[in-house]
Amino acid sequence: MACTTTHVKYVIIFIFAMVWCPLGYGQQITVEFNPGEIDSDRYYALLHEFGNRKVLPPGYEHQALIALSFYPELKNIKVKFKLKKGGAPFSSRPVVWDSFFKKSEKRTYLVFLRTKPFDAFSNLHLPEIPYNALIGVLGHELAHTADFTKRGFGCMFRVMTGNLSRKYLDRFEFETDRRTIEHGLGFQLLAWNEFGFGFFDTGSDATPSTIKKMLEAERYMRPETIKRIMASLPDYLSYIQGLNQ
């Protein structure tokens, strides 16, 4: 069939939409979220839209819901946020039993917030983490969750065994930061990394060697790397330009 003017018009519109489509997030990019900005109506609207099958962390419900709002693909996924003592400040994984016997979309996923992380991270005390920064690190953990929902058991097994390799972890966490930025939480991730990196000095004898190696390998993006990647993405440009004026 001959190509008509109408067909050409729709092809052009389709190409334009593909080139200029927004990043893969559910909410508009925001430079900074602050406490008190969400009134009860807004909270319940977020809860209705993004709180399905979610167990939110007591005292940090607002930050969790804001982070979830940037991951519309998790709307119907069961996610439990848990406050626990000990361990790394934040972590995420599927329920182990679910990883073996359930389809990825049927699993329960856990996001841990440590109220008292192990000594090397003792300065990252949960109540002292700024509001905007907490949204950023929760966004990073939810980027893991969103990634896990795309992985069958074989791929999840590779992730579990990969955690034994420092090089694998360096790449895995770096790319998770990239997905967090691509979901629209770049400014929040920047706030978290500026807050978190501020506690460690790679030249200090007081900094554990494991943390020094992690920082040197840039397992988690340095603030300047986050800024560079945001500057390369069209959806961030107007916000960055506004800040520079």
State the chain's mean pLDDT as an integer. 84
- Domain-embedded: residue 6: no
Check whether 15 has a pLDDT greater than 50.
Answer: no
Task: Quote the pLDDT of residue 14.
Answer: 33
| The one-letter amino acid at 162 | G
Give the number of other Cβ atoms within 10 Å of residue 119's Cβ.
8
Q: What is the pLDDT of residue 39?
A: 92
Which pair of structure tokens corresponds to residue 156? 């999840």
Assigned domain for 31 exists: yes
pLDDT band per the 50, 70, 90 thresholds, residue 33: very high
Q: Is residue 98 part of a domain?
A: yes
185 falls in which pLDDT band (50, 70, 90)? very high
pLDDT, average across residues 143-155: 86
Span of 20-29, 95-104, 192-201 with lowest mean pLDDT: 20-29
pLDDT at residue 21 in the model: 36
> How many domains, the chain?
1
For 119, the domain range is 25-244
Question: Does the pLDDT at position 92 exceed 90?
Answer: yes
Residue 10 lies in a domain: no
18 domain-assigned: no
Residue 193 lies in a domain: yes
The model's pTM: 0.84
Residue at 62 is within a domain? yes
Q: Is 4 within a domain?
A: no
Residue 203 has pLDDT above 60, yes or no: no
pLDDT value of position 205: 60
